[in-house]
A and B are shown apart, each in its own frame.
Chain A
């Protein structure tokens, strides 16, 4: 079976007219701008939550100062994280952190410590995001918060500076597309596989400038932690937001619709060097792998690491000559994995457990993979040089598929291991 068999695609018949219906994006952005917002409008919105990372905030501080910033009017709405350089490995990255420390102290905003976790995951875990919120973050994977029914989107450093200065952000109200997840996930197929399938079908810019609303019985059945994977990888389709609506308005205008029959899905592997290069795992069984990475904002929930451990246990541990790196993305996940012994048992298999944060996903924290590494990772991006080593080939897959590959030193069908 090819994964394409499970897909049906068709545009919505409705045209822009005097429809009373609103997409979730029109509703949330309109409410935060105080206007009747429709797709295509530019609106200035007050954000409920403003996120920054050590990858983006040092530059935002430069912009903030250049804008003449003297105060942050809504400090309680701001959360800054030291997640990309966790820990900092050079004098310059330590300076970035120092700069954030003095900014946070001066303006009274919360700055998470090194090891304090990935900004938006911590925001969700600590109850700072509720349905209907507008979340902006200077991290393209801020879209993850859409799993909560919020409109959450990535912004740049100048946007972050202006948001710190004014509490506001300018946004173009996006058109929306619906992704309808039908059926039920078969055994051995997880949210990451669904996400890779949707990205494959939509393409790496197929949802550009658009918001996605994930609906349908399989979407409804996904727990919040699994919804986060699909919202997270909305960024890999160019989407502005990836929302699991509390309520999707059938009278709203959708620019496009994609249906996925989840019952027909296989585990997927995205081949180098694009997240949209997904193929059924059965097509690439035997591909040599010598470096395995578990973690990140895509594959970083406690159950992901437990799934991986289960596959490692079932497959007899990590194969000789395979390096496995494990990075918990938040203190809460780390604590859960320490409490139930998952981290200790992964370490006993020989996995390298790093400091909490983004880990080696984008080459900002150690360890950097060696030259010509053949990598399989639970991350969301596999661009060339993404992990800081241009000669590495990065495959993306679910935690179970990644761990199964670690046991064999090559890609295997995880359903035959667990």
Chain B
């Protein structure tokens, strides 16, 4: 099974922590990501929330999503119409929150990807390949463990639990 996601790269830097994605003081008022998205990335990219378009793909460097484990930092990205984040590395809590909500975390070298580049993510049995249509480069991403792919393919942990009623006895 292969699927493809295509979109415009929205370039961020390194160590974009969850408070920068959405300030924890913002979630005092609501947890609704469709409200919170108006403050998406306000600290590092003040124009982001007004310029983001559905199918944009976040592209970052090291340690994307470090800091607090707050999950609104994932749901607010999804609410903005973003389906995948490509980064050199993720914090472990952001990585698992992404999987659990159906946001695809792609880990690979992002040095070649610039703001606005049209990129395509090909998800298949052999892993994830990132094609940069702007430069023609092809980057192999780190493969995801099969169990995390199952959760992603279900659309996140909620649909996974609804379908399976619990975790498997043994995961892979």
- Tell me if chain B binds chain A: yes
Q: Would you list which residues of chain A between 7 and 64 have a CB under 8 Å from chain B?
A: 33, 35, 42-44, 55-56, 58-59, 62-63
Supposing A161-B157, A381-B67 touch, asked if A59 and B31 sit within 8 A by C-beta, the answer is yes
Q: Is the CB of A56 within 8 A of B167?
A: no
A205 nearest in chain B by CB position = B63
Q: Would you list which residues of chain A between 65 and 121 have a CB under 8 Å from chain B?
A: 66-68, 85, 89-90, 92-93
Q: Would you list which residues of chain A between 370 and 395 have a CB under 8 Å from chain B?
A: 381, 383-386, 388, 390
Q: Is the CB of A44 within 8 A of B168?
A: yes
Q: Encode B160-172 as 1/0 by CB contact (under 8 A) with A.
A: 0110001111111
Q: How far is the CA of A165 from the CA of B51 in the complex (A)?
A: 39
Give the shortest distance, in Å, between A363 (CB) and chain B (any CB). 4
Q: How far is the CA of A386 from the CA of B43 in the complex (A)?
A: 11
Q: Is the CB of B93 within 8 A of A154?
A: yes
Give the shortest distance, in Å, between A110 (CB) and chain B (any CB). 21
Give the shortest distance, in Å, between B101 (CB) and chain A (any CB). 6
Q: Would you list which residues of chain B between 17 and 49 have a CB under 8 Å from chain A?
A: 17, 19-20, 23-25, 27-31, 43
- Stretch from B3-11, B69-77, B117-125, B127-135 that touches the partner: B69-77
Q: How far is the CA of A381 from the CA of B147 in the complex (A)?
A: 32
Q: Is the CB of B69 within 8 A of A364?
A: no
Number of interface residues of B (CB under 8 A): 48
Q: Is the CB of B93 within 8 A of A67?
A: no
Q: Is the CB of B147 within 8 A of A386?
A: no
Q: Chain A interface: which size bin?
A: 35 or more
| B110 contacts partner chain A, Cβ-Cβ < 8 Å | no
Interface centre among A90, A162, A364 (most CB of B within 10 A): A162
Residues of B within 8 A of A193 (CB): none
Residues of A within 8 A of B27 (CB): 55
Q: Is the CB of B28 within 8 A of A155?
A: no
Q: Is the CB of A166 within 8 A of B166?
A: yes
Q: Is the CB of A209 within 8 A of B92?
A: yes
Interface residues of B (CB under 8 A from A): 15, 17, 19-20, 23-25, 27-31, 43, 62-63, 66-72, 74, 89-93, 96-97, 100-101, 145-148, 156-158, 161-162, 166-172
Beyond the given A42-B147, A383-B20, A384-B20, please list 14 additional residue pairs across the A-B interface where CB-CB is below 8 A.
A44-B167, A55-B68, A58-B31, A66-B158, A68-B162, A85-B28, A92-B29, A92-B30, A158-B101, A159-B96, A208-B63, A363-B25, A364-B25, A386-B24
